[in-house]
Amino acid sequence: MAFQIPCGTDAPVRRHIQEISRDPQWSDGMDAARSTFTIEDASVYYDLLSPHSHMVDIWKTTYIEIMNSAEAIIDWLSSTGLRPYLDALSTQAEYKRFVEMLNERVAKRLSDPQRWKSAFSIRAPARRCIPECMG
């Protein structure tokens, strides 16, 4: 058995999402969204799996995605880590404002024109677990 868990929760764009979700205009409705992206330390998964496995391998892999703009980064995240936040918004106007605020922050980080084709790193620790009983 093998599985992969994204661990980019400390990425700048994820921090921006968390900060924007705390804006008073919609903060109360974001509690569930803020709690959906919880990932434990690798040692927790090891401790859970090792008693049931012959071998547990844990490693981290960094994927580099080349993005053409801040909008491309946001679009890419909109179907994954950003989705719970967007779903928590009540109106189209809130949705638009949330995305605008995020776009402003991401674009500011990419303000150097040479960085518009920016490398967006995603760290993903993979865990491989070989069960004692394969039957």
pLDDT string in tens for the chain (135-residue length):
777 776 666 678 888 999 999 999 988 889 989 888 677 778 888 898 889 888 888 877 777 777 778 898 899 888 888 999 999 999 999 999 999 999 999 888 877 655 545 555 555 544 444 444 333
Q: How many domains does the chain have?
A: 1
Residue 130 is predicted with a pLDDT of: 44
Asked if 123 and 10 count as a contact pair (C-beta separation under 8 A), the reply is no
**Which one, of 89, 88, 63, lies nearest residue 76 by Cα?**
63
Q: Which domain, by its residues, includes 118?
A: 2-131
What is the Cα–Cα distance from 1 to 55, expressed in whole angstroms?
A: 11
pTM of the model: 0.71
